[in-house]
């Protein structure tokens, strides 16, 4: 008897579990414009994914308040990638299977973006990643666009500041060991050596590392008079705390991903004097930025960072492209997207290269008295 019950329970469980899956594909025909967002909402990268969701939702509520796109309201579906390429690809398949989805924003990291790419490519759907910077990403498909700006543009900018403005001649590099970190370190090295500087030693660390003392000791021994860190702000804060503790007081410079109000909150006095390039910063007097920062803070009780601003830009750019295309036809949106010229994003203006990468402008910030200020 018990076995029969168990069997029935198991069978029922399977059906209950499978039922909604098959029902969920039903398309709702309505008059909205359906946008999909893929981001790591849970898992190690959820901090970034949740900021994506917040920014895109904010952008959509603003768009809808202004009458939507093409006079139609905008509807958002959010999917969780967990930062896992396989999950991301499944999600891509889900979006492309839904005939109402017009275009997709996301995901956060390059790996998942690259795994999603073949699916968007064969289905013909615009994939607009706010942050994917893999050198093969945007060029991999005519449907893929990235707005973060490649390191080919950012590397020389940072190297120029490090060499000419700050006056570093021998620099040590510490980078995170992912595609972005490697690119950042390589382009910086090339540009810095091109200016006549010398890279004393390059070391890297893996995602999830929390102890940098050993590697910093090694870098210090290399005789550098400056340190370039290609990492996100949370690792950046940890690196600086431990550098400070070692008593290694050299100028530190980093790329845009270092920029976040969180860097100061986490790093405290150890990040004082740090240089970081950015396309976006919260005290920016630009009215669009001010308005975004204020509404973001009012709605979520936190300050946005560079990645969040990029997600906002992505949504606004997509809306703009659909308006310009004049329809929700994928091919029309794609052409309109490719033709984007000087779109005024919060994190710098956006013009796409033929491959689909954006060329961005940067500003150099320095942390002084616990605040980011523009460095001139």
- Under rule CB under 8 A, which residues in 198-237 are in contact with another protein? 203-206, 208-211, 213-215, 217-218, 221, 234, 237
Taking CB under 8 A as the rule, which mask of x and - marks residues 60-99 in contact with another protein? ------------------xxx--xxxxx-xx--xx-xxx-
Contact call for residue 331 and another protein (CB under 8 A): no
Going from the C-alpha of 267 to that of each of 11, 203, 258, 317, the distances in angstroms are 54, 21, 11, 33
Contact call for residue 265 and another protein (CB under 8 A): yes
Binding residue (CB under 8 A) for another protein from 67, 167, 194, 268: 268
For another protein, which is the closer residue by CB, 181 or 345? 181
Query: How many residues sit close enough to another protein to count as binding (CB under 8 A)?
Result: 80
Binding residue (CB under 8 A) for another protein from 106, 130, 149, 181: 181
For another protein, which is the closer residue by CB, 214 or 288? 214
For another protein, which is the closer residue by CB, 122 or 327? 122
For another protein, which is the closer residue by CB, 255 or 348? 255
Least separation in angstroms between residue 107's CB and another protein is 12
Tell me how crowded residue 374 is: count the other CB atoms within 10 A of its CB.
Answer: 12
Stretch that binds another protein, among 44-52, 66-74, 151-159, 278-286 (CB under 8 A): 44-52
Going from the C-alpha of 288 to that of each of 13, 64, 98, the distances in angstroms are 51, 17, 34
Binding to another protein, residues 129-148 (CB under 8 A): 134-136, 140
Contact call for residue 239 and another protein (CB under 8 A): no
Contact call for residue 125 and another protein (CB under 8 A): no
H helical segments located in the chain: 2-23, 46-65, 85-97, 110-123, 151-160, 179-194, 213-221, 233-246, 261-267, 287-300, 306-325, 330-338
Where on the phi/psi map is residue 268: left (φ > 0), alpha (ψ -120 to 50), or beta? left
Q: How far apart are CA 361 and CA 35, in angstroms?
A: 28
DSSP state of 162: I
Stretch that binds another protein, among 19-27, 223-231, 341-349, 355-363 (CB under 8 A): 19-27
For another protein, which is the closer residue by CB, 54 or 334? 54
Binding residue (CB under 8 A) for another protein from 64, 100, 177, 295: 177
Least separation in angstroms between residue 301's CB and another protein is 10
Crossing angle of helices 287-300 and 306-325, in 10° steps, is: 110
How many residues in total does the chain contain? Answer: 376
Contact call for residue 155 and another protein (CB under 8 A): no
Angle at 28 between CA 24 and CA 31, to 5 degrees: 155
For another protein, which is the closer residue by CB, 231 or 340? 231
| Residue from 191, 119, 123 nearest 155 by CA | 191
Least separation in angstroms between residue 205's CB and another protein is 6
Q: How far apart are CA 345 and CA 279, in angstroms?
A: 9
For residue 142, what are its two tokens?
A: 């005519």
Query: 107: cis peptide before it, omega within 30°?
Result: yes
Least separation in angstroms between residue 357's CB and another protein is 16
Dihedral, 193, 194, 195, 197 alpha carbons, nearest 10: 10
Binding residue (CB under 8 A) for another protein from 182, 185, 191, 314: 182
Contact call for residue 299 and another protein (CB under 8 A): no
For another protein, which is the closer residue by CB, 85 or 345? 85
């Amino acid at each position: 008897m018990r076995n029969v019950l168990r069997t029935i329970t198991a069978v029922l469980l399977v059906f209950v579990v499978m039922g909604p899956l098959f029902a969920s594909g039903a398309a709702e025909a309505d008059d909205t414009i359906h946008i999909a967002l893929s981001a790591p909402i849970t898992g190690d990268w959820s901090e970034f994914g949740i900021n994506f969701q917040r920014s895109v939702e904010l952008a959509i509520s603003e768009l809808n308040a202004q009458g939507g796109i093409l006079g139609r309201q905008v509807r958002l579906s959010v999917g969780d990638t967990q930062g896992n390429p396989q999950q991301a690809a499944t999600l891509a398949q889900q979006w492309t299977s839904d005939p109402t989805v017009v275009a997709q924003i996301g995901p956060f990291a390059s790996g998942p973006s690259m795994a999603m790419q073949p699916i968007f490519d064969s289905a013909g759907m615009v994939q607009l990643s706010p942050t994917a910077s893999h050198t093969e990403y945007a060029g991999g498909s005519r449907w893929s666009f990235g707005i973060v700006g490649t390191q080919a543009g950012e590397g020389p900018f940072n190297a120029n500041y490090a060499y000419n403005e700050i006056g570093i001649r021998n620099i040590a590099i510490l980078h995170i060991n992912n595609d972005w970190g490697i690119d950042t370190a390589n382009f910086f090295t090339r540009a810095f050596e091109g200016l006549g500087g010398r890279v004393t030693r390059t070391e890297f660390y893996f995602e999830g590392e929390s102890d940098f003392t050993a590697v910093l000791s090694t870098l210090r021994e290399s005789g550098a008079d400056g340190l370039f860190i290609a990492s996100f702000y949370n690792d950046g804060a940890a690196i600086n705390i431990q550098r400070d503790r070692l008593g290694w007081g050299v100028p530190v410079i980093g790329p845009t991903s270092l920029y976040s109000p969180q860097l100061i909150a986490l790093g405290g006095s150890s990040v004082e004097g740090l240089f970081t390039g950015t396309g976006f910063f919260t005290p920016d007097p630009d009215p669009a930025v001010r308005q975004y920062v204020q509404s973001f803070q009012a709605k979520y009780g936190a300050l946005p960072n560079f990645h969040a601003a990029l997600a906002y830009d992505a949504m606004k750019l997509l809306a703009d492209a659909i308006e310009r295309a004049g329809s929700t036809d994928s091919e029309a949106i794609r052409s309109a997207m490719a033709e984007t010229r000087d779109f005024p994003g919060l994190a710098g203006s956006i013009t796409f290269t033929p491959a689909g990468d954006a060329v961005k402008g940067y500003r150099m910030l320095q942390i002084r008295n616990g605040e980011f200020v523009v460095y001139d």
